[in-house]
A = this chain, B = another copy of it.
Amino acid sequence: MPKIVDHELQKAKVAEATWRVIQKHGIEQASVRNIAEEAGISVGSMRHYFSTQSELLSYSMKRVSERVSQRIYDTVFSGDLMQDIPSLLHEVLPTDNEKRLEMEVWFSFVVKSLSDDSLRTLRHQVDDELRSIFVTVFNGLSESQLLLPGLDFAIEVERFYAVLDGLAIHAVMRPERVTPEVMVAVIRRHLLSLCQPGVHSMAQKPDSNAKKEQPRDT
């Protein structure tokens, strides 16, 4: 009988090597040779798991999305929406090095998917999933009667989702400015701005984020 190797584990190892290559040298350097070297195996060996480069990249992109999904799935909820929504979004935003790696790689794949049909579908799926989180969020807030009256849900979903992805991009591009603390503060502020005054922020000092800073002249 043959040498037994965990196929899935090897594929995952190669996928993670792909991420590192992309982060360090850009997706244009994600050649089969560079990835094999990063993974510590030979090209011929790698081809046993991925018969084409396109397969390899698709799989690597899928693995990123699965990692993010897993993170969301693993999030523990308290029942307090004003606590749970920031917690959830904290797991999506690049608030540590591991998540930043994922996000940088994800953006690389996303941009590539603009001109690569084999990646487009997955991008749309992930986009739909992520967006549906915000639909769920608004349903939850609405049922708990925390929301301000008269909100246009469709617009608010797009707005909240835009805040999330905008923060994510900015955190990746300017980590020294858009720190985890800034991200959390922005998310919390946005959430509070959608809710009735007074009702929200149970077990959280109310309004502690609303310092009255003066704008600087420019």
Interface residues of chain A, those whose CB is within 8 Å of chain B, are: 22-29, 104, 107-108, 110-112, 114-116, 123-124, 127, 132, 135-136, 138-139, 142, 149-156, 158-159, 161-167, 169-170, 172-174, 178, 182, 185-186, 189-190, 193, 207, 209-218
Contact = CB atoms under 8 A, between A and B. Distances in A.
Given A135-B218, A142-B215, A150-B212, A162 B170 contact: yes
B213 A173 contact: no
A186 B163 CA distance: 11
Contacts of A178: 158
B110 A218 contact: no
Nearest to A24: B115
Nearest to A112: B26
Contact of A127 (B27, B173, B209, B216): B173
A84 B173 CA distance: 28
Contacts of A193: 193
Tell me the number of copies of this protein: 2
Given A114-B172, A142-B215, 6 more contacts: A26-B115, A107-B111, A124-B174, A158-B182, A159-B189, A162-B170
A23 B52 CA distance: 24
Contact of A155 (B110, B149, B182): B182
B152 A214 contact: no
A115 B218 contact: no
A164 B14 CA distance: 36
29 contacts: A22-B115, A23-B114, A24-B115, A26-B115, A26-B116, A27-B111, A28-B112, A29-B115, A108-B111, A114-B173, A127-B174, A135-B215, A152-B185, A152-B189, A152-B210, A152-B213, A153-B213, A153-B215, A158-B178, A158-B186, A162-B162, A162-B164, A162-B166, A162-B170, A165-B166, A166-B167, A166-B169, A169-B169, A193-B193
